[in-house]
Chains A and B, each alone.
Chain A
Amino acid sequence: MNYHWNWGVFLEPVKSGDETYLDWLITGLGWTLAVSLTAWLLALAIGILIGALRTAPSRPLALLANAWVELFRNIPLLVQMFLWFFVVPEFLPRDWSLWVKQDMPAKEFVTAALCLGFFTSARVAEQVRAGLASLPRGQRDASLALGFTLPQTYRHVILPQALRIVIPPLTSEFMNVFKNSSVAFAIGVLELTFQARQMQEDSEQGIETYLAVTLLYFICAFAANRGMAWIEARTRVPGLIARTG
């Protein structure tokens, strides 16, 4: 089979409409960034909370947090996307269900961001728990002895230390969020993978298309990596973590 190369394809108009293929890819990049960043903020907020609960002295709370993590870790992300998109609206009260199905703006985006955010929160929680477990017990004891309440101890003493420790594993989770956002194509989010499949079919220049999209994913992952490195450098407490990098 011979392949007909055409690097000018990106500037050509799509078959139905007056956009160019480049416009499609830019739209795709926009949605990929929107889904990934929203999901990441959600994942950090929930993940830190659940991770902290998993180390809490209250048994029911710790059990609940463990169940949360197991639930999101043992179902494929794609199936979770379908669950949020098709199944969850059926379980809402009647009026909400109708609103979600008919009127909710940017339904695909909201669903994908929620799904990816919850999915990632389980993985963030796992890292945060490991970070908390790695701290010397004396930190918590000393803080309680000084008269801090337990929530204050978490807020002011042990979480700030644990979060700094887990920045490296969280960096790879952040890069994973961009990769995982590609699954959102399945529920019709117009992100990069969706656009790649659409452009490949429409233009029949698959290799150029996939090369461009691969490059864009690389750039996202690299930017995520640098962003987290910047945060790591900004939040470093001299002497707290011996390893520099």
Chain B
Amino acid sequence: MGEFDFSVWGPSLPFIRDGLLFTLRLTLVAMSGGIVIGTLLALARLSPIAPLSRIAGAYVDLMRSIPLVLVILWFFLVIPFLTGAPVGAETSAIITFTAFEAAFYCEIMRSGIQSVPRGQVNAAFALGLGQAQTMIHVILPQAVRNMLPVLLTQTIVLFQDTSLVYAIGAKDMLKAADVVGKNYNRPVEMIVLSALIYFAICFSLSLAVKQLQKRVAIIR
């Protein structure tokens, strides 16, 4: 068994903090962007206009059947052709994750919208609300509340998946740990540290989601 030297954790903390801030920023931007775009995609999928629903469906199926690492590589390659200028790994990562997660949030929102009883729609129409008003004021609020635990669980998955920006060298927490590990020649200790941080964050979040699930279940 090799000699461990966990004293490297101390000097690594500023770097880990900066990396963790990027990881969190990526998670939050991809989550909010993903939920907004995902909801629009879900509406498109459920729309009676066949081409619209088919395009949205194809997009979602495509994203869900390709490995995320490959999606990250694809966007990193293709975005410069679309914008005409090279973009940094961090910007590319933010665009990729927003677009990728939108497909997953779309499926969650779609089942959320479908979980709202048909009578709610009829009642809203009977009260004189228009289609858009019904969606915004009656269906979506209920859909989001029903799906809140699932949306949050998906966000925990998203938080873990952001580590895959390693493939294009974006400076997230794992990359920071990697760099410090190489500089101090202590890669093992730094991998352990990043695993502990990921576990602590994800485990406490998933416990919180479980609590929330109980509450939502009681309200329903």
Instruction: For the complex, count residues of A whose C-beta is within 8 A of B.
Output: 43
One of A47-55, A130-138, A175-183 contacting the partner: A175-183
**B18 near A: Cβ within 8 Å?**
no
Q: Are B80 and A213 in contact (CB under 8 A)?
A: no
Give B41-83 as 1s and 0s: 1 = Cβ < 8 Å from A's Cβ atoms.
0000000000000000000000001111110011001101100
Give B157-189 as 1s and 0s: 1 = Cβ < 8 Å from A's Cβ atoms.
000110110110000001000000000000110
Q: Are A218 and B65 in contact (CB under 8 A)?
A: yes
Q: Are B69 and A94 in contact (CB under 8 A)?
A: no
Interface SS of chain B: helix
Q: Are B81 and A3 in contact (CB under 8 A)?
A: yes
Chain A residue numbers with a CB within 8 Å of B65 are 175, 179, 217-218, 221
Q: Are B2 and A213 in contact (CB under 8 A)?
A: no
Q: Are A79 and B174 in contact (CB under 8 A)?
A: yes
Q: Are A76 and B160 in contact (CB under 8 A)?
A: yes
**B195 near A: Cβ within 8 Å?**
yes
Within A160-198, which residues are at the interface with B (CB < 8 Å)? 175, 178-183, 185-186, 193, 196-197
- CA of A92 to CA of B188 in the docked complex: distance in angstroms? 14
Q: Are B167 and A207 in contact (CB under 8 A)?
A: no
Q: Are A82 and B80 in contact (CB under 8 A)?
A: no
**B138 near A: Cβ within 8 Å?**
no
Give B77-108 as 1s and 0s: 1 = Cβ < 8 Å from A's Cβ atoms.
11011001000000000000000000000000
Q: Are A93 and B67 in contact (CB under 8 A)?
A: no
Which residue of B66, B80, B198, B203 is within 8 Å of A217 (Cβ)? B66
CB distance from A99 to the nearest CB of B (A): 14
- CA of A197 to CA of B195 in the docked complex: distance in angstroms? 26
Q: Are B195 and A75 in contact (CB under 8 A)?
A: yes
- CA of A217 to CA of B65 in the docked complex: distance in angstroms? 8
Q: Which residues of A approach B to under 8 Å, CB–CB?
A: 1, 3, 70-71, 73-80, 82-83, 86-87, 90-94, 97, 175, 178-183, 185-186, 193, 196-197, 200, 206-207, 210, 213-214, 217-218, 221
**Selected A-B contacts with CB under 8 Å, 9 pairs:** A74-B203, A75-B198, A90-B1, A181-B67, A182-B70, A186-B167, A193-B69, A210-B70, A218-B65
